[in-house]
Amino acid sequence: MAKVSVLVDTDVFIDYFNTGRFSSVFDSSHFTVYYSIVTKKELLTKLGLREAERKAIVAELSRCRLINLSDSITARYSNLRRQHPSLDKADALIAATALATRLPLITRNTRHFRIVKDLALFGG
């Protein structure tokens, strides 16, 4: 069976860390998990983050694949911000990452992203 590549939103990582939910994605050999630089920033700059939590986050992220900003992502981001000014900046950057890389987005916040045309969404 071929691996399925997915972009995972920050909220899904948080649920996985807190409850183990979405282990079917993170702990499965059937998925290649990608994450946006925005997700890394959101996870590691949480107020009150303890050193043990930071280490656990860094360890989990090392098992996944980081997508850094690129010209195509920033161009998509700019277009999304013009088209949908109400879309949160971080959400727009994550959506732009998914669109530019042609990856489906796994998120619990599907309502935040529904307005983005051509974005493949999987809710949890």
Task: Return the percentage of the chain with pLDDT > 70, whole number.
Answer: 98
pLDDT by residue (tens digit) across 22-71? 999 999 899 999 999 999 999 999 999 999 999 999 999 999 999 999 99
What is the rounded CA–CA span in Å between residue 13 and residue 23?
10
Q: State in words which class domain 4-123 has.
A: alpha beta
pLDDT of residue 124: 65
Compute the average pLDDT of residues 10-21: 94
pLDDT by residue (tens digit) across 71-100? 999 999 999 999 999 999 999 999 999 999
Tell me: pLDDT of 2 over 80: no
Give domain limits for the chain: 4-123
Per the prediction, the chain carries an average pLDDT of 94
What is the rounded CA–CA span in Å between residue 2 and residue 5?
10
Tokens of 105: 């987005």
